[in-house]
Structure 1
Amino acid sequence: MKSSWKFILGLTIALTAVLSIMMTAFSVPAVNSGVHQVPIGLITPDDPTYQKVSEPLKAKGFKVEQYKSENTVKKQVDERKIYGAIALSDTGDVTVYQATAASSAVAQALNQIGTGIVEQQKVVGTKQLAATAQQATDPVMLKTINARMTALQAKQVKIVELKSFPKADPKGTGLAAGALPIALGGWIGSVAIVKAVKGKWQKFAAILCFAMIGGLGLIAVIQFGIGTFDGNYWLTSLGAMLGIAATGFFVLGLLEVIGNWGLAIAAITLILLGNPLSGLTSAPEMLPSGWGAFGQLLPPGATGTLLRNLALFDGHAALMPIAVLSSYVLVGMLLFKLGNKSEI
């Protein structure tokens, strides 16, 4: 039987909608990426200095919190509450506390801010010393001014790394590059299972096996093959298993309820939206406002965040991604139980 013109028109409209969603999901975050309430810390010798430094940072989009000590900053970074901090001493020295493992992009941004503060200090200090030198007649004073000028020009930002990736992958490229494999690989594996395996409960069992074996394999590649992780392999693998299970049961449940259209919906959710909005290449807060938070509610973003927190931050802030992924598993199982298209 030939396809009707009505069907062809409907299909082309649906494909155009998918194309539009893909273009929006990939282009809008890329064009509008930047700082959108990225939480950082600021240590200053007094409140006036905090106000002077924090206001420009807030204007740039940072969410700035004031802290009193380096230890407090370290704790906040460990618990994934901030991405790093900038400290100014009472003598004007600038220290950047970065956590590359949390986000290489934010660490780079903090470095640029710290460098900018030092460069501004050099400009202001040079003008003041030059004005003083013009009025000075004492050779000893001129010598002192020149020494201060030399020291000022040699001034640099001090960088303190609080949380880094392993030496084998210092920039975390393996995790950033894993956004697409996490989204696409989970979808392809799930589609292969639901199409190749016969029998409703056999598909259920196959998804479970895929989640367990796939989780072990995924982390083995990232940890032992690439070297991006160096944490507890088994614990991190459990996180990967949950992520794959969320994807697998989500696909399986949709297929059981609405048939092949479920595969298209899953592809849009997991790949077209989930991949670019995962935040793995930068940070969720570096995506346009609202997009990053939405991406963390999709399996790829939640899986990436969970793996990062388990492998590099001792499991801190893992509850939210676990809850998100568990919800996909439960909803998928519920749809699977209610559906009856297992033979499609």
Structure 2
Amino acid sequence: MSTPVSEAPAASGRESREGNDWLKIAGIVLLLPCVIALMLFAFLAPNFASGPHELPVAISAPDPVVTQLSDATNAANPDAFSFDPVGSDDEVRGAVEKRDAIGGLTMDPATGTATIYTAAGNGAPYPAVMQQLAGGMQALGLNVQMVEVAPYSQDDPQGSGLNALGLPLAFGGMISAALMTTLFKGKPWHKLVGALGIAALGGLVVAAILHHGYGVLTGDFWLEALALACGIAATSLVVTGLGSLLGMAGVGLGAVLTIFISNPLSGLATGWWWLPQPWGMIGQYMPIGAAGYLLRSISYFDNHHGGHSWTVLGVWMLVGALLIAVGGVRNRRAAA
């Protein structure tokens, strides 16, 4: 005679699983709006807190003129400028061309003529604030002439093409990292070579589009391609390395660092001086900010002041490669 099978434990198990599913739904419903709010805050906060603050301006003028100008600008817009006195007109122009200052000002007391140097290649806001400074000096009866030393290209006079760089730099690195993590588990060499190959070809393609396709970039094409490749590789290798150690959770962590920190603080559109400090400076130590600053230096400033950005990108790439290696060693030990 067969023994009847009790259905109570099975029913209880189904109810338990269903209860857990509803808890998961509740957690997702509560968590994702928080993530959306944080993402919005990450992009809006730097924009609303941005503005002129201690902008470095090289100046060559008699001391009384420097003092008067500093007092007048502080009264109109406190701490907007940080005037750096230099010895000659050539030094003023050189400081702007080498990215030591966002603009420059020289004054000829004999003729009452002032020359203001601007560099649009630093970012859109700086020529505008220098133009406001010129307007204030003209209101005092001075003759002011404007000289642009690092203009954007004729095909992109507003520099709007650079604003799109965040997409290939961020998502190019993250997508390649996700692919390397899911397709080549336990294969560190495949991940390293794959990430570097995607970055190299991606940098070449993006540089070709921006340089030859739309005329946004005007510097050395191969240096621009290398800078873009290093920017993609810096993100890709680090996120791939985190994925090697933590799995897809590591890829998620890398995505958070890229989307919530590296991209909003990069200053791609405005340059890092315009962002609230110290966040603007911190952004230059992240891959996207370093790549954007480097690309401006190559394209508009004859490669000046790019050494720091090359170093930052190299360090991120090295850290990513080490993380991939450590993940590979750990996986081999676990398998053994």
Q: Does 1:92 align with 2:109?
A: no
**Higher alpha-carbon deviation: 329-338 or 21-30:** 21-30
Matched residue type, 2:213: G
Deviation at 1:47, TM superposition (A): 0.8
TM-score by length of 2: 0.84
Shift of 1:49: 1.0
* Residue of structure 2 in register with 1:150 after alignment: none
Measure, in 2, the Cα distance between the counterparts of 1:15 and 1:337.
Answer: 33
Extract unaligned runs of 5+ from structure 2. 1-16
Shift of residue 287 of structure 1?
A: 0.7
| Residue 280 (1) aligns with residue 268 (2) | yes
Q: 1:138 aligns to what?
A: none
Deviations 1:238-268 (A, max 9, x none): 1112111101101100101111111221112
3-state SS of paired residue (1:157): strand
* AA matched with 1:116: G
Are residue 233 (structure 1) and residue 224 (structure 2) matched? no
Counterpart residue identity of residue 43, structure 1: S
Please state if 1:294 is matched with 2:282.
yes
Moved more, 51-60 or 313-322: 51-60
1:101 aligns with 2:133: no
From 216, 219, 243, the equivalent of 1:255 is 243
Distance 2:201 2:158 in 1: 27
CA contact (8 A) 1:29 1:287 kept: yes
Cα deviation, 1:77-115, whole Å, max 9, x if unaligned, reads: 222111111233313323221011122211111011111
- For the 8 Å contact 2:173–2:232, the answer to whether it is kept is yes
Equivalent residue, structure 2, for 1:64: 83
Which of 39, 52, 67 is the aligned partner of 1:22? 39
Deviates more, 1:2-11 or 1:287-296: 2-11
Q: Which residue of 2 aligns with 1:75?
A: 94
Match of 1:169, SS state, is coil
Structure 2 CA distance for partners of 1:246 and 1:287, relative to 1, 3 Å: same
Q: By how many angstroms is 1:67 displaced?
A: 2.4
Question: Which digits, 9 at most, give the CA deviation of each residue in 1:21-75, with x for residues without a partner?
Answer: 323321211111101222111232x211110102344533212111232211121
CA distance in 2, matches of 1:339, 1:328: 16
Q: Is the 8 A contact 2:284 2:290 kept in 1?
A: yes
Q: Is the 8 A contact 2:266 2:292 kept in 1?
A: yes
Change (3 A) 1:258 1:67: same
Mapping of 1:131-210 within 5 angstroms? 157-197=144-184, 199-210=187-198
Q: Residues 23 and 51 from structure 1, CA distance in 2 versus in 1: closer, same or farther, beyond 3 angstroms? A: same
Mapped pair 1:117 → 2:105 = no
1:232–1:311 contact (8 Å) kept in structure 2 = yes
Amino acid at match of 1:189: S
Compute the displacement of 1:223 (Å): 0.6
Deviation at 1:172, TM superposition (A): 1.5
CA distance in 2, matches of 1:259, 1:98: 48
Q: How many pairs align? A: 309
CA distance in structure 2 between the aligned counterparts of 1:200 and 1:50, rounded to whole angstroms? 59
Give the direction of change, closer, same or farther, for the CA distance of 1:14–1:36 in structure 2 (3 Å limit).
Answer: farther
Aligned residue in 1 for 2:321 = 333
> 2 CA distance for matches of 1:56 and 1:285?
21
Q: RMSD over aligned Cα, in angstroms?
A: 2.4
Distance, in Å, in 2 between the alignment partners of 1:18 and 1:325 is 28
Mapped partners of 1:240, 1:181: distance in 2: 9
Q: In 2, are the aligned partners of 1:86 and 1:110 still within 8 Å (CA)?
A: no
Corresponding position: 1:311 with 2:299: yes
Change (3 A) 1:201 1:47: same
The code of the aligned residue for 2:260 comes to L
Q: Cα gap change, 1:111/1:82 in structure 2, threshold over 3 Å: closer, same or farther?
A: same
CA distance in 1 between partners of 2:71 and 2:271 (Å):
22
Instruction: Work out whether residues 112 and 143 of structure 2, in 8 Å CA contact, stay in contact via their aligned partners in 1.
Output: no
Offset, 1:13: 6.4
